[in-house]
């Protein structure tokens, strides 16, 4: 009874109370998070009150929701009513508390889930390691000397450590998928605009997504279903034909056209990373390869757009309070502020062209396999990694294989692959926009076969 769906079923049927489950989660967080540093805030009082309300509804014979009594936590850029939204920044700690929950948080609560806290992240979501200058480093539960990834590092580590069954994160250039891969859990970035970002502190509006991290495909699908729906508060969130994702999980996939991304996605990675991709491909009997054209330029354009939009968002504070930024974040924002606007416009023009090219690719295949990160989790403080005999910086290159995909808003699920006792790795399942159900079906079959599984380090 470790996944969200099983916990909710047990609570609804009276096998255990929501208060008991919540107290156990809070006790586990109190003991273990001292070493992991996943949480920036633990909402003990409100969590216990919400759990008691769930038990009261069940006692009256009411159905409190699909996620009744399940503890969860969110990256600290999601608004939580009554708390200040930090977004990993020292400056934001001076802001007034949020007056209402983010749309995604509200939907999960309406489904009966119990919020137990807010999670650590890279400042303003600008990073891939969650080594936060103000709130400390989040450690990888599988090796406390290694990073959890970022920027949703607290979100991935909290699931991987068994502190909560699921969390929410955000993904601009890979910030859900990278930590999910390094921590060995499932991390889902739906199509851009599929889920509402209302009440979320944005980093790069034209790139930002939100999505869940969890220990099973069933949980990912359940949370995705709960979070869907049009929201006028987020102009990019549009209502699409609703898909009954859950019943589709175990359908046959024999008709799916699946290919392995080659060239750019087969270079610049450790051999064990590429072996993980082929482990998944072999399980699916995939022999076909396909090229995503100009992926390296897509990544470069994503860098430009991210830097420009992020710097513009924080320009006033960069001018008046540069000393209060995380030094690594500040320097990248300052560099972004110096990028000519013609570069930004050209990057957006290239983006439209690139989107058209990838649409052509998806006329040939339904799902593409690619590595999530080029290496396993690096050591805390590690600045350099060696790929193909070349020394390169760790922080910007952890998103090597994720940036070209979020650049055009494709739905992607990072699935955890393990090799004996080594650190986990991730493989991306990629589909055309709004084809999330295909990805989840495929992942469910791989999970059932035992090819992929979340690695949870429980006390």
> Which residues are identified as catalytic?
75, 151, 175
Distance CA(44)–CA(169), nearest Å, equals 21
Residue 63: how many other CB atoms lie within 10 Å: 10
Distance CA 295, CA 300 (A): 9
- Could you give the CA distance from residue 295 to residue 1 in angstroms, rounded to a whole number? 42
Q: Which two tokens stand for residue 93?
A: 């700690």
Q: Which ranges constitute the DSSP H helices of 161-270?
A: 177-183, 217-227
**In this structure, are residues 104 and 136 in contact, taking their beta carbons and an 8 Å threshold?**
no
384 contacts 391 by C-beta, under 8 angstroms? yes
Please tell me the distance from the alpha carbon of residue 95 to that of residue 345, in angstroms, as a whole number.
Answer: 33
In the numeric block, the tokens 């080029």 are attached to 374
Closest CA to 119 of 67, 165, 74, 59: 74
Sign for the CA dihedral angle at 221, 223, 229, 235 comes to: negative
């Amino acid at each position: 009874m470790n996944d969200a769906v099983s916990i909710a079923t047990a609570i609804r049927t009276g096998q255990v109370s929501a208060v008991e489950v919540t107290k156990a989660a809070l006790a586990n967080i109190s003991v273990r998070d001292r070493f992991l540093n996943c949480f920036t805030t633990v909402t003990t009082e409100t969590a216990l009150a919400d759990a008691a309300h769930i038990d009261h509804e069940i006692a009256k014979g009411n159905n409190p929701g699909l996620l009744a009594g399940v503890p969860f936590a969110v990256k600290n850029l999601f608004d939580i009513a009554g708390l200040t939204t930090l977004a990993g920044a020292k400056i934001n700690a001076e802001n007034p508390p949020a007056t209402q929950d983010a749309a995604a948080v509200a939907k999960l609560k309406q489904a009966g889930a119990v919020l137990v806290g807010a999670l650590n992240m890279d400042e303003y979501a600008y990073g891939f390691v969650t080594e936060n200058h103000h709130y400390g480093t989040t450690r990888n539960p599988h090796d406390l000397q290694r990073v959890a990834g970022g920027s949703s590092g607290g979100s991935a580590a909290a699931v991987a450590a068994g502190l909560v069954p699921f969390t929410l994160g955000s993904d601009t250039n890979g910030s859900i998928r990278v930590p999910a891969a390094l921590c060995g859990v499932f991390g889902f970035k739906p199509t851009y605009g599929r889920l509402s970002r209302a009440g979320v502190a944005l980093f790069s509006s034209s790139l930002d997504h939100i999505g869940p991290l969890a220990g099973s495909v069933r949980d990912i699908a359940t949370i995705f279903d709960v979070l869907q729906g049009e929201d006028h508060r987020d102009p990019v969130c549009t209502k699409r034909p609703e898909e009954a994702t859950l019943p589709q999980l175990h359908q046959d996939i024999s008709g799916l056209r699946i290919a392995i991304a080659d060239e750019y996605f087969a270079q610049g990675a450790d051999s064990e990373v590429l072996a993980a991709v082929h482990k998944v491909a072999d399980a699916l009997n995939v022999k076909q390869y396909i090229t995503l054209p100009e992926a390296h330029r897509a990544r470069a354009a994503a860098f430009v757009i991210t830097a420009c939009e992020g710097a513009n968002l924080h320009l006033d504070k960069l001018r008046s309070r540069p000393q209060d930024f995380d030094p690594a974040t500040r320097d990248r924002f300052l560099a972004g502020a110096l990028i000519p606007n013609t570069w930004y416009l050209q990057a957006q023009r290239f983006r439209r062209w690139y989107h058209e090219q990838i649409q052509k690719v998806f006329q040939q295949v339904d799902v593409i396999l690619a590595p999530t990160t080029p290496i396993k989790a690096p050591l805390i403080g590690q600045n350099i990694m060696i790929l193909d005999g070349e020394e390169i910086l760790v922080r910007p290159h952890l998103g090597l294989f994720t940036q070209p995909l979020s650049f055009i808003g494709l739905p992607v699920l990072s699935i955890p692959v393990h090799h004996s006792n080594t650190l986990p790795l991730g493989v991306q399942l990629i589909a055309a926009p709004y084809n999330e159900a295909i990805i989840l079906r495929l992942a469910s079959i791989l999970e059932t076969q035992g090819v992929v599984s979340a690695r949870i380090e429980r006390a």
